């Protein structure tokens, strides 16, 4: 098998329809030419010969924009066609980012909706029409967003103080494909599912987005800034690619139909 070395810093590409995507660059000591691979888990991966300059890699990928867009559309179509079995109601879960463990209790009540609230430290009560599993998941996602709104903004403020940057505003979302984002206005959005990650990965995401306040792109200057603020940036970035597995299915929006 060829030795593959992950470049660490992803490339970026704007597709013909205006979508912006990132792709992983992996150098192979056996590759004689560039090879593009599009998968359901990793997205776009570009395997290139060792030593090929990033500028050339970017040019090669850009020349295949139409093919890449078509493959991504094919994957999206397949995902829609594959039925997903709704996961069971969780009885407990951990939030490693906060070093918390939560037990979940379900109480049936004569009402059409389902809610979730913190009953006491370490215990959540889901109440209402609890036979509706999807509604229970949705209630827990709302609870997760509230917990993230309590914990993540002050954490981001502390990291921002260390980095010398502060966002104009902070939003908590439940994105499917992004751990965070930074708008041109300076507003940073953080994914509530960050709570399922180890603390060092959460901090890395925050540093990443704070650096976008300085460089609103993924240029070489951007990654230099990230590495200055986080010495283990390359290692953490690599770990982040598989971090989606840490979030339970119920935490995904629409988990009863499609992950």
Query: How much is the pLDDT for 41?
Result: 64
* Distances, alpha carbon 153 to alpha carbons 147, 160, 166, 168, in Å: 11, 10, 11, 12
Q: Is the pLDDT of residue 10 over 80?
A: no
Task: Please spell the DSSP secondary structure of the chain, one letter per residue.
Answer: ---EEE-SSPEEEE-TTS-EEEEEEEEESS-SS-EEEEETTTEEEEEEETT--HHHHHHHHHTTHHHHHHHHHHHHHHHHHS--PPPPPPSEEEEGGGTEEEEEEEEE-SSSSEEEEEEETTEEEEEESTT-HHHHHHHHHHHHHHHHHHHHHHHHHHHHHHHT---SEEEEE--SS-SEEE-TTSEEEEEGGGGGS-HHHHHHHHHHHHHTTT-SS-SHHHHHHHHHH-TTHHHHHHHHTTGGGGS-GGGSTTTTT--
Pick the residue with more confidence: 151 or 30? 151
Q: ∠ CA(185), CA(188), CA(190), 5° rounding?
A: 155
Q: Residue 108 and residue 110: Cα distance in Å, rounded?
A: 7
Q: Is the pLDDT of residue 80 over 80?
A: no
Burial 189-214, CB ≥16 within 10 A → b, else e: bbbbbbbbbeeebbbbbbbbbbbbbe
- Percent of the chain exceeding pLDDT 70 equals 88
Q: Where in the chain is the domain with CATH 3.30.2010.10?
A: 92-251
Task: Decide if 190 contacts 148 (C-beta within 8 A).
Answer: yes
- Tens digit of each residue's pLDDT (9 = 90 or more) over 215-226: 988 888 999 999
Q: Is the pLDDT of residue 254 over 50?
A: no
Q: Residue 238 and residue 208: Cα distance in Å, rounded?
A: 13
Q: What CATH architecture applies to the domain 92-251?
A: 2-Layer Sandwich (3.30)
Pick the residue with more confidence: 256 or 31? 31
The CB density around residue 69, as the number of other CB atoms within 10 Å, is 17
């Amino acid at each position: 098998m060829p030795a593959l070395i992950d470049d660490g810093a992803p490339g970026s590409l704007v597709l013909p329809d205006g979508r912006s995507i990132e792709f992983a660059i992996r150098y192979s000591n056996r590759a004689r030419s560039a090879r593009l691979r599009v998968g359901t888990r990793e997205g776009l991966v570009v395997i290139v010969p060792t030593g090929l300059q990033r500028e050339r890699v970017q040019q090669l990928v850009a020349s295949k924009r139409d093919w890449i867009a078509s493959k991504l559309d094919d994957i999206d179509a397949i995902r829609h066609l594959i039925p997903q079995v709704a996961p069971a109601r969780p009885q407990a879960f951990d939030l490693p980012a906060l070093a918390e463990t939560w037990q979940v209790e379900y109480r049936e009540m004569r009402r059409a909706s389902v809610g979730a609230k913190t009953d006491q430290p370490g215990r959540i009560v889901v109440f209402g029409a609890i036979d509706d599993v999807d509604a229970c998941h949705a209630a827990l996602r709302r609870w997760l967003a509230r917990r993230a709104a309590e914990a993540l903004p002050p954490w981001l403020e502390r990291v921002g103080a260390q980095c010398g940057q502060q966002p104009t505003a902070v939003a908590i979302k439940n994105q499917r494909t992004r751990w965070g984002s930074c708008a041109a206005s300076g507003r940073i959005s953080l994914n509530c599912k960050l709570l399922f990650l180890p603390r060092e990965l959460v901090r890395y995401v925050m540093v990443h987005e704070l650096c976008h306040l300085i460089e609103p792109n993924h240029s070489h200057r951007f990654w230099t800034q990230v590495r200055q603020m986080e010495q283990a940036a390359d290692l953490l970035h690599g770990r982040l690619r598989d971090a989606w597995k840490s979030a339970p299915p119920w935490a995904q929006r629409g988990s009863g139909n499609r992950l």
